[in-house]
Amino acid sequence: MSLLKAGKIITDTWTRIEDDQEFAEAGAVIVSLECWLNESESLRKPRNEPIGVSLRNDQSPSQIIDDLEAISLIQLDFPAYTDGRAYSAARLLRQRYGFKGEIRAAGNVLRDQYPLMLRCGFDAFIVNEGIDLAGWQTSVEAMDTPYHLPK
Amino acid sequence: MPSRRDSRVWAELIRQWSSLHPEFTFLPRKFKIAVTGSPHDRTAVKFHDIGLILKHDEDGNLGFEVLVGGGLGRTPMIGRTVREFLPQQYLLSYLEAILRVYNQLGRRDNKYKARIKILVHETGIDALREMVEEEWSHVKEEGVDLPFAEVDRVRSHFTDPTYDVLPDHDHSFAVKQFEDPMFGRWVRANLAPHKMPGYVIANVSLKPIGGAPGDVTAAQMEAVADLADKYSLGEIRVAHEQNLVLADVKMSDAYSLWKKLDEVQLGTPNLGLISDIIACPGLDYCALANARSIPVAQRLQRRFADFSRQFDIGELTLNISGCINACGHHHAGHIGILGVDRRGEEYYQLTLGGSADENASIGKIVGPAFSNAEIVDAVETVIDTYLSIRANGEAFIDTYRRTGEEPFKIALFGEKQNVAA
């Protein structure tokens, strides 16, 4: 998989840690919501590294609104592109809770949905390797006058 | 602030707001919104995912009663009121709140349980209302609602056409109704009053006796287009009853219009009568259907072909669906017919008492299903029963609501069967 951000494929400096996995000494990690809620103290203080939290699409971002200062990245999941729950989560995080960190789309992230995700506040995308970057950019420009949120 | 109840303006605003809405393009399932501006509802507003009824509050401010969770299909439900009065300026933020709650909480595990009606049913309207109101308390501060200037700009596209100043009555219009009884019938059934003096609204029935309900040939459509240009300011509307509407016809033109419609077999005087049947394509065309709809509609139309009899029966809706998905809206017909498959044979379940207007109700199944051979007789038995028990001037639906299903059941199945059931 590749990481798309600001129109470019970049190196992903984050490591996804599963719930039963040990943490490396250094480096930015993404953990599950359960892990964050259970171990947020131990995650924060001794390591002093950026923390990301991954939400499944049946988990509401309202569960972490008091922690947003301590979280640098939130990953939202699209198990299928037809499942639109993460759009609402992203909008709430950006517009209502004022989250300034990275909002990362994972799962079935496709070119046709890319402009919709951008407008809901996603700014990083885990995509298949070898995507046609010019094509993805074209899809953003296809609708130049949205009725809704500003880009 | 505008105070006219013009549903078109709001429908257009909702269209713009919802088109490619990034947050609501991937809802759990399909979603339909109806807006009605009249106390007599012709939009089936209570059978939509969201129903909006334009109304004024006690101080004369314009707003909406907001209903949620109506629908037909395999789980028919009447929409519930989520808010009695929403001031007009908050429409989009309130819709956004409802959709955000539905997007997050609507079921995605089973497509038959994914519509918002199921969420309303499983959550309960009071709990859902709390969630929507809580969400709305934030959304309405977040800049979704349009400034009045923008609403006015859209409203400016819905100005009235230029009407001629006409007298209230037209002599030839009155005379022709006596001279030509079929025209008289057409006036009685198919014309509706217009807000402008000297004008009428003409409904073009696409339900000729023995035709496929709602079908129109290319030649007929060309003719309607020409007639709309000539007699109705160039506009044709399509109604969910599978008929067409010419909305701005001069009384003095009505007879010429009808003559020309009649030349192309579109002059049937049966709007709102028993032969104005809503039917889905059924097994003749549809891969989902269990039974045919169109031939049943055609046989019923022929059985009740006599217009004197149709007018005597009076206002009645008869809706036919060829399967449980209810595209023919059988739940909402005064008389409903649902095609079912019984060991490879077409059977038809009869429902009574449905209604799609402001007094929406879901028809109730009466007894076991009828065979293809029996269904037309069964409908006639229902009609004969109504004619024998109705009070003076009482419409079918009102008789049914007064007496309940009992007399109809007895007539259809006899006393014994009824006790056993």
Q: What is the pLDDT of residues B232-276, one digit of tens each?
A: 999 999 999 999 999 999 999 999 999 999 999 999 999 999 999
Residue B79 and residue B122 in contact, taking contact as beta carbons nearer than 8 Å: no
Copy the structure tokens of residue B81.
């009121």
Position B303, amino acid: R
CA dihedral over A129, A132, A134, A136, signed as positive or negative: negative
Least confident of B314-328, B347-361, B403-417: B403-417
Give yes or no for residue B2 having a pLDDT over 90: no
- Assigned token pair, B337: 């017919």
CB atoms within 10 A of CB A133: 15
Position B421 confidence tier, pLDDT thresholds 50, 70, 90: very low
The pLDDT, as a whole number, for residue A41 is 73
**Cα atoms in the 13 Å half-sphere on the side-chain side of B61:** 11
pLDDT for B1 equals: 56
Per cent of chain B over pLDDT 70 is: 98
**What pLDDT is recorded for position A151?**
42
CB contact under 8 A, B103 and A149: no
The Cα B206–Cα B244 span in angstroms is: 7
Q: Which residue has the higher pLDDT, B417 or B317?
A: B317
Nearest-angstrom CA–CA distance, A18 and B51 = 45
Quick check: B331 and B363 in contact, CB under 8 A? yes
Closest Cα in chain A, distance from residue B405 (Å): 44
* Mean per-residue pLDDT, B83-87: 98
Q: Provide the phi-psi class of B272: left if phi over 0, else alpha when psi is between -120 and 50, else beta.
A: left
pLDDT band at residue B417 using 50, 70 and 90 as cut-offs: low
Query: Quick one: pLDDT at residue A20?
Result: 82
Q: Tell me the residue type at B36.
A: T
Q: Using the beta-carbon criterion (under 8 Å), do A87 and B20 form an inter-chain contact? A: no
Residue B5 has a pLDDT of: 87
Q: What angle do CA A78, A79, A82 make, to 5 degrees?
A: 75
pLDDT at A48: 80
Asked if residue B240 lies in contact with residue B262, where contact means CB atoms within 8 angstroms, the answer is no
Q: Is A139 on the interface with B (CB under 8 A)?
A: no
- Could you say which residues from 50 to 79 on chain A have a Cβ atom under 8 Å away from some Cβ of chain B? 60
Answer whether B91's CB lies under 8 Å from B150's CB.
no
Q: What predicted TM-score, i.e. pTM, was given to this entire model?
A: 0.94
Q: Which of A81, A89, A119 shows the shortest C-beta gap to B22? A: A119
Given pLDDT bands bounded at 50, 70 and 90, which one contains residue B3? low
Q: Render pLDDT for B305-318 as a digit per residue (tens, 0 to 9).
A: 999 999 999 999 99
Q: Is B389 helix (H, G, I), strand (E, B) or coil?
A: helix
Cβ–Cβ below 8 Å for A87 and B108: no
Distance from the A85 Cα atom to the nearest Cα atom in chain B, whole angstroms? 5
Name beta bridge partners: B193: B200
- Residue B308: its pLDDT value, please? 97
Gap between the Cα atoms of B248 and B195, Å rounded: 10
Show Cβ contacts of residue B329 under 8 Å, excluding neighbours closer than 6 positions.
B44, B47, B72, B240, B278, B319, B321, B336, B356
B254 CB burial (10 A radius; 0-12, 13-18, 19+): buried
Closest among B21, B16, B22, B46 to B33, alpha carbons compared? B46
Q: Which residues of chain A have pLDDT under 50?
A: 151
Average pLDDT, chain B: 96
CB atoms within 10 A of CB B348: 28
CA distance A82 to chain B (A): 5
CB contact under 8 A, B20 and A91: no
Contact flag B20-A84 (C-beta cutoff 8 Å): no
Dihedral over alpha carbons B17, B18, B24, B26 (to 10 degrees):
-150
Query: Which residues from A are below 8 Å from B100, CB to CB?
Result: 88
pLDDT tens track for B94-111: 999 999 999 999 999 999
Helix (H, G, I), strand (E, B) or coil at A38: helix
Q: Is A148 within 8 Å of chain B by CB? A: yes
Residue type, A86: A
Task: Collapse the DSSP code of B335 into the 3-class scheme (helix H, G, I; strand E, B; otherwise coil) and give the result.
Answer: strand
Is ipTM > 0.85 here? yes
The pLDDT confidence band at residue B416, using thresholds 50, 70 and 90, is low
Residues of chain B in contact with residue A148, where contact means CB-CB under 8 angstroms, are: 17, 21-23
**pLDDT at residue B91 above 70?**
yes
Q: What DSSP state is assigned to residue B355?
A: B
Q: Using DSSP bridges, classify how beta strands B62-68 and B50-56 pair: parallel, antiparallel or unpaired.
A: antiparallel
Measure the CA–CA gap between A67 and A53, rounded to whole angstroms: 10
Burial class (CB within 10 angstroms; exposed 0-12, middle 13-18, buried 19+) of A98: exposed
pLDDT of residue A143: 84
User: pLDDT tens digits, residue range B134-190?
Assistant: 999 999 999 899 999 999 999 999 999 999 999 999 999 999 999 999 999 999 999
Contacts with A105 (C-beta within 8 Å, 6 or more apart), sequence order: A75, A76, A78, A86, A117, A122, A124, A125, A126
Chain centre to alpha carbon of residue B215: 17
Cβ atoms B71, B121 nearer than 8 A:
no
Please name the residues in contact with A60: beta carbons below 8 A apart, sequence gap of 6 or more. A89, B104
Q: Indicate whether B114 pLDDT > 70.
A: yes
Beta strands B244-250 and B278-279, pairing class: unpaired
Residue B303 has pLDDT above 70, yes or no: yes
Name which of B23, B116, B137, B150 to mutate to probe chain A: the one with the most chain A Cβ atoms within 10 A of its Cβ. Answer: B23
Give the chain B residue nearest A151 (alpha carbons): B22
* A148 with B17: Cβ contact below 8 A: yes
